Amino acid sequence: MVFFLEVLVYLCPSATRHGIQLVRLKAKLRLVEELSARGYSLNCEDGGCISCEAVLSSRRLASEATGVMSLVQAILEKTEASS
């Protein structure tokens, strides 16, 4: 059985009224780069969003989801600490 794991990365959310924060944009790009390195396919979506998708076996799904959540948390924590 095959599963899809999708991570949506909004580079420029439409609700942002305060302009682009370069530190946050760089962090989001770093996340996209890391996901690409993990084998995720990247697609541009509406609204300044990049869809990052992996096709996984049932054996890899839980560990990959946990790994991606840890990756996102680490990047966000590093971004918050530097801003």
Residue carrying structure tokens 């084998």: 39
Cα separation, 34 vs 17, whole angstroms: 28
pTM, 2 dp: 0.87
- H or E element at residue 56: strand 49-57
Quick: pLDDT tens for 26-38. Answer: 999 999 999 999 9
Is residue 48 predicted with pLDDT exceeding 90?
no
Per-residue pLDDT band at 5 (split at 50, 70, 90): very high
Cα separation, 18 vs 46, whole angstroms: 20
